[in-house]
Amino acid sequence: MMRLSKDVLILLAALVGSLQSAQCFVPSHQSPSRHPLLAASLASAPVNGEAATSEEDSDKETSTNGITEIRLNVFEKARTVTSVCTSGTLCTVSTHEGIQGSPFGSFVDYVLDDNGLPVLLMNEMSMHTINIEKAASDDDGAEPMVSLFTQLSSQTAGSSRKTGLQDTSRCSLTGVVKKIPATDPEMDAIRMRYSLTHTYADQVMDSPKFAFYRLEPKMIYFVGGFGVSSKWVDVEQYKAANPDILAKEAAEIAQKINRDHAEDLMWTAQHILGLPEAQKVRLTNVDRLGMDLRVTSPMGTRRNKLQTDEFRIGFRIPVISVEDAKSEIQKVFQEAWEKANEVSWGDEEPGVDVPVMKIAADSLDYEQPSSRNVHFPKEKSRHISTGEASFICSAHTDQDHEDYRK
């Protein structure tokens, strides 16, 4: 057998190493037929109407077949809203003469305790405090019920102007409010947390006229946005959920993407979502599992009529930091650019394995939806999942759609 010289062996080893390294730059793609989101399609929720979802709405990060979800479950969404917000509207039952028993709303600040329950610092002279204390002292023995409504800022839309609060997620927590004793073992942590969140509190926390109250919800209602989703949330599962890791930075990320990457967003709508006639694209939300795009395009053959739909683009892996999220978004933009410029690596076209889900449809001039294919240029047609398929989104009955038309 011929023996190779030492120099030749070194050269061969270097060549093999370089070939292995080069493979790292060749993207690997799943076949479209194997993609978990391309299996089926159901009715989507209208954008321009508040949609009530069924009990089959996605409550788990992984579906029953073990495939990773690309959307936060409803408990995480609700916990994220209450964590990001630090103020809201507290509704109490009025005890004022002439309007006894009527709902009374007032602005309040709050923080969350470790279980996600709102803690409020309230003045004994405030009308909502008076209502609560009078209800607690009634002879009927009933505990004072209140409702706290809180909503994300409209600036999450990423525009220099406000786009309206209808776009944003909100939560209503309804339950019993109780004064927290000064001897409560959590009091030091509560005081510190409140002081860090609301700096004015240092001046009033020690006043005898102020006291901390905790809202213990019996029911929680979550609305994902105007026409996206709405659902009653189990309180215990809400307590056990964690807010999204990007919750505090999501608005800033969305603003920057919408401001600086309009062309990338348009390419994404045209070449990843398969909407070549898209006229306006806006990133409305980003979290650890993906991002939401709201796309305005002509309504079929009616060129003077526009429709707005919302899509979910999932990250291939959950992110654990802001930098990770930016990297995943850039990967989607890169594949959209490659497809727009007909750049291909290997046998698969770019973008075919980007997880996509249609999560809301325009309800104006709305017709009964049915399963449909979204055709992608120069490749096989694929389904956009609009409901409970491999990933559960939202399911509606015929009565739901009848309500929207009304």
Angle at 387 between CA 385 and CA 393, to 5 degrees: 110
Tokens describing residue 150? 């809180």
Every domain of the chain and the residues it spans: 32-64+244-405, 80-240
> Are 200 and 109 a contacting pair, CB within 8 Å?
no
- CB neighbours (10 Å) of residue 1? 3
Distance CA 68, CA 35 (A): 12
Q: Which fold has domain 80-240?
A: Pnp Oxidase; Chain A (2.30.110)
Of 397, 392, 375, 394, nearest to 384 by C-alpha is 375
> Are 29 and 360 a contacting pair, CB within 8 Å?
no
Question: Residue 193: what pLDDT?
Answer: 95
Question: Residue 106: what pLDDT?
Answer: 96
SS3 of 6, please? helix
Distance CA 333, CA 271 (A): 10
> What contacts 248, CB < 8 A, 6 or more positions away?
84
Of 40, 54, 47, 59, nearest to 398 by C-alpha is 54
> Are 86 and 198 a contacting pair, CB within 8 Å?
yes
Question: Residue 10: what pLDDT?
Answer: 52
> Are 61 and 69 a contacting pair, CB within 8 Å?
yes
DSSP 181: P
Query: What is the four-CA torsion angle of 320, 321, 322, 327, rounded to 10 degrees?
Result: -60
Q: Which fold has domain 32-64+244-405?
A: Split barrel-like (3.20.180)
Question: Residue 281: what pLDDT?
Answer: 96
Angle between helices 322-340 and 250-260 (to 10 degrees): 30
- Phi and psi at 185, nearest 5°, equal -60, -20
Distance CA 131, CA 134 (A): 5
Pairing of β 210-225 and β 103-109: unpaired
Distance CA 272, CA 101 (A): 54
Distance CA 73, CA 179 (A): 32
Q: What is the pLDDT along the chain (406 residues), one digit of tens a residue?
A: 455 555 555 555 555 454 443 333 333 333 333 333 333 333 344 444 444 443 444 444 434 334 458 999 999 999 999 999 999 999 999 999 999 889 999 999 999 999 999 999 999 999 999 999 998 887 666 788 999 999 987 664 444 444 556 668 899 999 999 999 999 999 999 999 999 999 999 999 999 999 999 999 999 999 987 766 789 999 999 999 999 999 989 989 999 999 999 999 999 999 999 999 999 999 988 999 999 999 999 887 666 788 889 899 999 899 999 999 999 999 999 999 999 988 876 666 666 778 999 887 765 444 433 333 333 333 333 333 333 322 222 323 333 333 333 3
Of 295, 355, 358, 310, nearest to 331 by C-alpha is 355
Query: Based on the number of CB atoms within 10 Å of its own CB, is 185 exposed (0-12), middle (13-18) or buried (19 or more)?
Result: exposed
Tokens describing residue 189? 């942590």
> Are 214 and 239 a contacting pair, CB within 8 Å?
no
